[in-house]
Amino acid sequence: MHGPSEGVSEETDEANSAVKIVGGNVFVELDPDHPGFKDEGYRSRRNEIAKIALEWNEMSMDERRTKKIPHAPYSEDEDAVWAAIMERITPVHEKYACKQYLENAKKLGLPNDRIPQLQEVSETLEEMTGFRQEPVGGLVHPKTFHTALANRVFLSTQYIRHSSRPFYTPEPDVVHELVGHTAMLGVPEWAELNVLFGEADMRTESEAAINRLGSVYWYVLEFGTCREEGNVKSVGPGLLSSFGEMEHACASGEVEYRKPNFEEMETLAYDVTKYQPILYVWDSFEELYEKTKEFVTNWGTDNDPRKDLHQ
């Protein structure tokens, strides 16, 4: 999974957990400041979910396509967290989400009262665009993430934020993956862009170039925006999965809107721990798709005027 943290009522902290194997047991290490650090039940479920991801990723790609993703254990309190978020975020989507998201969210039909299992969501998504969502233990290197995209696989976390703070998470969780990414991956043009980014990454060898590509992905496929009838709308899942991010991006008056510039995006630093102060606004979703498709298709090829920086 490659995405932003999901702060809503306050700024986020950088994701700070690591999956380790201790004495043959899977253990998720949480920062002492994590809301779930002292909750043994929560930590036990996190360990079980991490084990699912580790065992899943030990299988080959062909094996995975013949297996069902095991169910993640969620408590009633965690289902209640999901329900609270869905109740709060749905009216914000209606105001600030792009029309492509709204149309596909209806088709996807995520439940409002419980956390859906990754397998059930993935089955629906696969029927829409051929994409699958598969479990991953946490943040992964951009190369790993993008290589999966090239195979129409979106690596997704399954854990959810702690119930003591339903509108805050120190790390991207299942809300970000399913509420943010899944509906957009059901849009054929958006799914195609994700595959093209994956293929571009597979053509890229240097760490510097991989980071440049990842930065463009951030500004377009995580935090992209476009205009609809003159209004700025959220397109990227980093916005769509957080009502705070959407409200900040589209209505706060505190964001610097810039004309899309891929060369600038490649090296413009971003902070995952804060609401984004700079966003690139496309004139339409169609423009975002066409211009990004051309850029990423040419990345590192003989048609790329900056080929030497993109290999």
User: What pLDDT tens digit does each residue of the chain (311 aa) get?
Assistant: 343 333 332 233 333 468 888 777 888 999 999 999 999 999 999 999 999 999 998 898 889 989 999 999 999 999 999 999 999 999 999 999 999 999 999 999 999 999 999 999 999 999 999 999 999 987 777 788 888 999 999 999 999 999 999 998 888 899 999 999 999 999 999 999 999 999 999 999 999 999 999 999 999 999 999 999 999 999 999 999 999 999 999 999 999 999 999 999 999 999 988 999 999 999 999 999 999 999 999 999 999 999 999 99
Query: Is residue 61 domain-resident?
Result: yes
d(Cα 190, Cα 183) in Å, to the nearest integer? Answer: 10
> Catalytic residue at 290?
no
Query: Is residue 232 domain-resident?
Result: yes
> Catalytic residue at 222?
yes
Query: Is residue 274 domain-resident?
Result: yes
Query: Is residue 8 domain-resident?
Result: no
Query: Is residue 227 domain-resident?
Result: yes
Domain that includes residue 213, residue range: 17-309
First to last CA, the chain: 23
pTM of the model: 0.90
Query: Is residue 5 domain-resident?
Result: no
Using alpha carbons only, give the angle 72, 36, 23 rounded to the nearest 5 degrees: 65
Of 5, 122, 163, 241, which residue is the catalytic one? 241
CATH code at 180?
Answer: 1.10.800.10
Of 2, 146, 162, 176, which residue is the catalytic one? 176
* Domains identified in the chain, total number: 1
> Catalytic residue at 181?
yes
Query: Is residue 3 domain-resident?
Result: no
Of 181, 199, 234, 248, which residue is the catalytic one? 181
Find the DSSP H helices in 66-187: 76-96, 99-108, 118-129, 142-150, 174-175, 183-185
Of 222, 234, 245, 248, which residue is the catalytic one? 222
269 phi and psi, to 5 degrees?
-65, 150
Find the DSSP H helices in the chain: 40-57, 61-64, 76-96, 99-108, 118-129, 142-150, 174-175, 183-185, 188-202, 207-217, 237-240, 243-251, 262-267, 285-298
> Catalytic residue at 34?
no
Query: Is residue 9 domain-resident?
Result: no
